[in-house]
Amino acid sequence: MHKAIHTLEQVNEWRKNTMMEHLGIEITEIGDKYLCGKMPVDHRTHQPMGLLHGGASVALAETLASLGAALQVDLATKACVGLEINANHVRGVREGWVYGKSSAVHVGRTTQIWETVISNEAGDLVCLSRMTVAVIDKKG
């Protein structure tokens, strides 16, 4: 399976006019079967009590896993779509940044499984997520 090489700048261009841009998610590193990113903890990502919204953590996890999966395939002919995601929320965060690292657990022809670890600025675990991705043919 042929896949293109994408630079950090190219992948961050995909943010434009998406939820990634709205939430302030940035991709910080691309590696072999992993992807890292960060997200601010501010008015865009807070829940009403002033803590990081669990849904924002899941949005970060799904973003990193989806992009990581997409970088494993030939995007001219294939697309990666989420089938299932789960998340364990371990620690609250009120301000600053959270950092995510999504790593491939399984990269198959039709499915991929990605695990995302999200931590706070001190390196403490905030959220642990696992996502199953379907690899589908692009429609003509």
pLDDT digits (tens, 9 = 90+) for 81-112: 999 999 999 999 999 999 999 999 999 999 99
pTM: 0.95
Q: Which one from 13, 62, 84, 121 is the annotated catalytic residue? A: 62
- Per the listing, tokens 């999200």 go with 118
Q: Output 7 or 2, whichever has higher pLDDT.
A: 7
Share of the chain above pLDDT 90, in %: 94
Q: Is 62 a catalytic residue?
A: yes
Measured distance between the N- and C-terminal CA atoms of the chain, rounded to whole angstroms? 19
* Mean of pLDDT values over 3-23: 90
Where along the chain do its domains lie? 8-137
- Per the listing, tokens 């890292």 go with 36
CATH of domain 8-137: 3.10.129.10
Task: Categorize the per-residue pLDDT at 77 as very low, low, confident or very high, splitting at 50, 70 and 90.
Answer: very high
